[in-house]
Amino acid sequence: MSFLNQLKSQAQNAAAVQTQTRTDIEANTRQTELACKTVWHYVSELCKTLNVLAPPAPEFALDKNAVWPPMKLHDFRADSRKKMLRDQEVVDTISMGWQIIPVNGKPGIGTVEVDFVPALERVEKNLHAGGVKFERKDVVQTDKRPRRVIRFEYVTQARGYISITPDHDNAQIAFRLANTSGFGVKNVVWPASRMQTDFLDELAKLIVAQPSQFVPAVLE
């Protein structure tokens, strides 16, 4: 076989691989779009339902010395954004958000003081994760011996949300879960093929603080 024919053979093999890859990506894109349609319908209906129920929230605590009063979830909203992918309009993101407020009365003002770096980092991380309004102040305590502490004054109101991002090429869907089990953010990726009602029920259970298998135990 001449060198030119060898090159032609290699080109034919490469073209076959590219064709198969393109076919796989197109199939993955279709599957992912169907999954997104299922997810969007589910979270839209879930928001309507939970806005009526205003379910109780899980326990929220900035630190062991700053446990919040009983909270509830309300003002659920869902949104979906599109983008162009290979000359086709597809889902870019689906999001769901809600407010976390006291069961009784309006959001109040709380305070917590910390004087150790681990506690300081934990409190600040939780405040930022929850989108909590707060002020940080340096305070010198003189009750026993002078010592410097950090005092946080905050409003007992936070925000929870779920950001859902599809990966059309690989038929996967990424979930970013904020403050669904107290303060904190978790990330999990599931195959698009899992996006069925019974599986999304596990997501709903997670939001309303019921036992759920949506987040693998290794991430808990």
Q: What is the pLDDT of residue 15?
A: 72
Are 149 and 141 in contact by the 8 Å Cβ rule? The answer is yes
Taking the C-alpha atoms of residue 163 and residue 168, their distance in angstroms, rounded to an integer, is 16
Q: What is the pLDDT of residue 17?
A: 65
Q: What angle do CA 44, 49, 55 make, to 5 degrees?
A: 120
Q: What is the pLDDT of residue 136?
A: 95
Residues 217, 68, 146, 136: is their CA dihedral positive or negative?
Answer: positive
Q: What is the pLDDT of residue 217?
A: 62
Q: What is the pLDDT of residue 116?
A: 86
Q: What is the pLDDT of residue 219?
A: 55
pTM: 0.87
Closest CA to 174 of 77, 36, 42, 24: 36
Strand ranges across the sheet with 134-141: 109-114, 147-155, 134-141
Phi first, then psi: what are they for 87, rounded to 5°?
A: 65, 25
Q: What angle do CA 98, 101, 102 make, to 5 degrees?
A: 155
Q: What is the pLDDT of residue 161?
A: 98
Taking the C-alpha atoms of residue 32 and residue 21, their distance in angstroms, rounded to an integer, is 16
Q: What is the pLDDT of residue 163?
A: 98
Token pair recorded at residue 186? 């978790």
pLDDT tens digits in sequence order for the chain, 220 residues long: 787 787 777 777 777 667 667 888 999 999 999 999 999 999 999 999 999 999 999 999 999 889 999 999 999 999 999 999 999 999 999 999 999 999 999 999 999 999 888 999 999 999 999 999 999 998 877 666 777 889 999 999 999 999 999 999 999 999 999 999 999 999 999 999 999 999 999 999 999 999 999 998 645 5
Q: What is the pLDDT of residue 27?
A: 92
